[in-house]
Amino acid sequence: MKILTILTAGLIVLVTPHFTLAQNQMAAKAVTAVKIAEARKANAKLMHEYSWQSRTELLENGKLEDLRLEQVQYGSDGSLQRITLNEQGASLPFGFLRRAIAEKKRKQMEEFLMGLRGLIDQYTLPTAGKVLDFMDKATVSLADEGRLILMSGTGVVVPGDSLSVWTEAATRHTHKIQVNTFFQGEAVNLTATFKTLRTGLTHVGFAEVTVPGKNLSVQVQNSDYDRIMPPPAPKVSEDKKPASPSSSSLETVERKLRDLKALFDKGLITQSDYDAKKAQLLEGL
């Protein structure tokens, strides 16, 4: 059913890898934020080399309404390709009026989940600037007897929300994330646990989105990851290799970030000016 594909695409890329305990200095956090964004891009690129099975269940009032088992992989154009292996769904009732009501309800459900997916996507912190904003507000602590690093923040996307990320201290791989937020007046809870393959790929093992006010739950389980060998990359001559940022350029950005923060602290620039200039500096790395 179309209704089951709406949220799963967002949950596939729901990976916020390699959080680290950042120093208090603004510049150190900025560099860490850039590294996190780069790690996410590398993980997303690696994901394109795999196919896997995805099982999605939609439950309403504790009753299974839809179930879909799919084989998933990325196509050559970068889009997700799904092959349905098994599908079970509640059939529409007979009778014109009852059927029309059921179809309207399903349409409303699709629209709700589509909007909810857009909100959830924002909690992936898609840019270095978003990561840095979260790190500025978040608190960091140790959990599970020091085996996990917990980073928690509030007011991440909407007022009153919260985002918590558990990272394995030894490997810096994402272990779990939890989001408590609001959409169209409804409380929404997301919990996702992650697995890391030997190749370094971090992926969502299990995720559940619940909307208690609607007695709604969407559960996604990903498994059986098989690597599809990519074509050999073309060789790049030494003179054509892209140059990595030099230490001097990083120092320049760090200095400008410190100066920018000083101007903001003194009230010489507005919050919007500060955010815009900070994002511009990070984009240049």
What is the biggest distance separating any 2 CA atoms in the chain, rounded to whole angstroms? Answer: 73
CB contact at 8 A, 36 and 131: yes
Which residues partner with 163 through β-bridges? 153, 179
Average pLDDT, the chain: 78
Tens-place pLDDT, residues 125-183 = 777 778 778 888 888 888 898 899 888 999 999 999 999 999 888 887 889 999 999 99
pLDDT of residue 82: 87
Rounded to whole angstroms, the Cα distance separating 166 from 152 reads: 9
242: DSSP letter: P
SS3 263: helix
The residue-averaged pLDDT of 240-250 equals: 56
Q: Is residue 21 predicted with pLDDT exceeding 50?
A: no
Indicate whether 237 pLDDT > 80.
no
- DSSP annotation of 1: -
Length of the chain: 285
Instruction: Please check the confidence at residue 28 and state whether its pLDDT lies above 80.
Output: no
pLDDT at 155: 92
**In the predicted structure, residue 15 carries a pLDDT above the cut 60:** no
- Under the banding of pLDDT at 50, 70 and 90, the label for residue 254 is confident
Residue 108 or residue 185, greater confidence: 185
Mean pLDDT to the nearest integer, 227-234:
65
Distances (CA, A) of 55 to 3, 6, 52, 87, 94: 14, 13, 10, 10, 29
Q: What is the pLDDT of residue 39?
A: 79
Look at residue 235 in the predicted model and tell me its pLDDT. Answer: 61
3-state secondary structure string across 205-237: EEEEEEEHHHCEEEEEEEEEEEECCCCCCCCCC
**Token digits for 128?**
């270095």
Q: Are 144 and 42 in contact (CB under 8 A)?
A: no
- Cα dihedral 126→20→151→167 (10° resolution): 90
Using pLDDT thresholds of 50, 70 and 90, give the confidence band for residue 17: very low
What tokens does 44 get? 């997303």
pTM equals: 0.69
